[in-house]
């Protein structure tokens, strides 16, 4: 298995950050140019692409818990590197897409790997940073990821400007290459031994996660608040143009505001979420802040252009604070409420619920807000506030049922670090 690490080696988080940066530059390339490649170059209809991606993501969620559980039993560094090699193959396979069946097959393969990779990544972060540093590491990597996506999206602009078959091919190959680079960087990390396995009366670890109703209740509350991602990337852009009457370039300014604030504040706002009780209070704060931003967005309807743009940017700044508090709190809860020997399986279950929220979010939120208008925004705010206020009580309920950590042999730590 290679060298076994008990404490975070110098530069481990830096190496993980570089791997994340490489990976997310490719994500930015594909997010900005993938849909146009599939429609303008391959020739699929927008409806076919949307339907195919929805089916692929729903199927892909099934890999989250099994691969997370596998990371509990294997070295998460090597497992994640292997998954990223598979993702490189899947990304390159888009060059072969010429029909709907082939597109669906490639998209399902890609999303199975991507969904599982999220759970394995969370396990690797916990292994690298340890119980005291994993939420800080998570926030650091989120800031790095936002930077990487922004760079990738900017680079994709060159291919989109050229708008030729060869330019789109370069975009696809570039995305695949970033997975390879990320896998190479990950293998520079030390190997990690799985945590000691607690007795579970023969139940598989993934069954423990999916049968832990108290954990799922807390994770479900976090998943509801995770709808803020869909609001920012889908609902706010459409609201900006159709209801606020702002010109389309304002959408870029709104998203850039979120990106810059995330890079600057993600680590700072993550402090104090390492254990479940304070993380739950931070989740409550996130819900209330997101709720406070909804009437600000609603108020932009019918305003003159300049005041509407100013209010949109201010609302996005407020929204980003809630976004970042939610990210840190959700990570802290998912880590601290998981048994030390089943972190991967529990991260997989947490990711499964978040993925289901992302799957139903676009249809639900466009119906609620874009069709519902101001009352829809206020209803969404009430939902966020209610879920946030319930988070501490749900967390106390989950903590009351938490099993004590298993006895450890020798001087091994409670979680791999």
Q: Is 227 helix (H, G, I), strand (E, B) or coil?
A: coil
- Whether the Cβ atoms of residue 358 and residue 230 lie closer than 8 Å to each other: yes
| Cα separations in angstroms, 338 against 40, 116, 126 | 45, 17, 11
- Whether the Cβ atoms of residue 357 and residue 227 lie closer than 8 Å to each other: yes
| Cα separations in angstroms, 336 against 148, 347, 402 | 28, 11, 10
Question: What are the helix (H) ranges across 37-164?
Answer: 46-60, 64-73, 76-92, 100-129, 134-162
Q: 345: Cβ–Cβ under 8 A, 6 or more apart, which residues?
A: 65, 68, 69, 72, 119, 205, 206, 208, 209, 338
User: Consecutive sets of 10 residues in the chain, 417 residues long: mean pLDDT of each?
Assistant: 41 93 93 87 87 89 94 94 97 95 95 94 92 92 94 88 90 96 95 67 63 96 96 91 89 91 96 95 98 98 94 98 98 95 94 92 91 96 98 96 50 31
pLDDT number for residue 407? 41
Q: Rounded to whole angstroms, how far apart are CA atoms 357 and 175?
A: 26
pLDDT number for residue 219? 97
245: region left, alpha or beta (phi > 0 left; psi from -120 to 50 alpha): left
pLDDT number for residue 265? 96
292 backbone dihedrals φ, ψ, rounded to 5°: -65, -25
Query: Using the 8-state DSSP alphabet, how is residue 324 labeled?
Result: H
Total Cβ atoms within 10 A of residue 196: 17
**Torsion, CA 110, CA 139, CA 335, CA 316, rounded to 10:** -80
Q: Rounded to whole angstroms, how far apart are CA atoms 189 and 182?
A: 12
Q: How many helices (H) and strands (E) does the chain have?
A: 16, 0
Rg (CA), the chain: 21
Cα distance between the two ends of the chain: 16
Q: Is the pTM of this model over 0.85?
A: yes
């Amino acid at each position: 298995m290679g060298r076994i690490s008990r404490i975070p080696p110098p530069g481990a988080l830096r190496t993980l950050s570089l791997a994340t940066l490489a990976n997310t530059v490719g994500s930015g390339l594909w997010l900005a140019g993938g849909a146009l490649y599939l429609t303008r170059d391959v020739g699929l209809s927008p409806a076919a692409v949307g339907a195919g991606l929805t089916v692929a993501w729903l199927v892909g969620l099934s890999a989250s818990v099994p691969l997370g559980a596998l990371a509990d039993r294997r070295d998460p560094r090597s497992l994640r590197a292997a998954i990223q090699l598979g993702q490189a193959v899947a990304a390159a396979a888009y060059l072969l897409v010429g029909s709907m069946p082939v597109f669906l097959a490639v998209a399902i393969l890609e999303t199975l790997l991507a969904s599982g990779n999220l759970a394995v990544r969370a396990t690797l972060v916990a292994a690298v940073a340890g119980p005291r540093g994993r939420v800080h590491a998570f926030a650091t990597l989120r800031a790095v990821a936002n930077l990487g996506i922004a760079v990738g999206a900017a680079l994709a602009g060159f291919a989109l400007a050229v708008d030729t078959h060869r330019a789109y091919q370069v975009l696809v190959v570039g995305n695949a290459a970033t997975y390879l680079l990320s896998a190479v960087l990950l293998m520079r990390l030390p190997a990690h031994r799985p945590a000691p396995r607690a007795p579970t009366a023969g139940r598989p670890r993934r069954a423990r996660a999916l049968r832990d109703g108290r954990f799922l209740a807390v994770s479900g509350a976090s998943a509801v608040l995770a709808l803020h991602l869909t609001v920012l990337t889908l609902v706010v852009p459409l609201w900006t143009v159709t209801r606020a009457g702002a010109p389309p370039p304002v959408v870029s300014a709104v998203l850039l505001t979120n990106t810059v604030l995330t890079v600057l504040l993600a680590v700072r706002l993550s402090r104090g979420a390492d254990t479940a009780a304070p993380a739950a209070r931070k989740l409550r704060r996130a819900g209330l802040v997101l709720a406070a931003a909804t009437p600000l967005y609603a108020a932009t309807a019918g305003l003159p252009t300049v005041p509407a743009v100013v209010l949109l940017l201010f609302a996005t700044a407020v929204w980003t604070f809630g976004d970042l508090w939610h990210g840190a709190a959700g990570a802290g809860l998912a880590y601290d409420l998981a048994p030390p020997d089943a972190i991967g399986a529990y991260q997989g279950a947490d990711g499964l619920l978040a993925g289901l929220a992302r799957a139903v979010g676009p249809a639900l939120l466009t119906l609620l807000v874009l069709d519902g208008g101001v009352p829809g925004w206020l209803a969404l705010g009430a939902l966020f506030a209610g879920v946030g206020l319930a988070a501490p009580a749900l967390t106390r309920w989950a903590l009351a049922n938490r099993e004590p950590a298993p006895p450890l042999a020798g001087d091994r730590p409670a979680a791999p670090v």
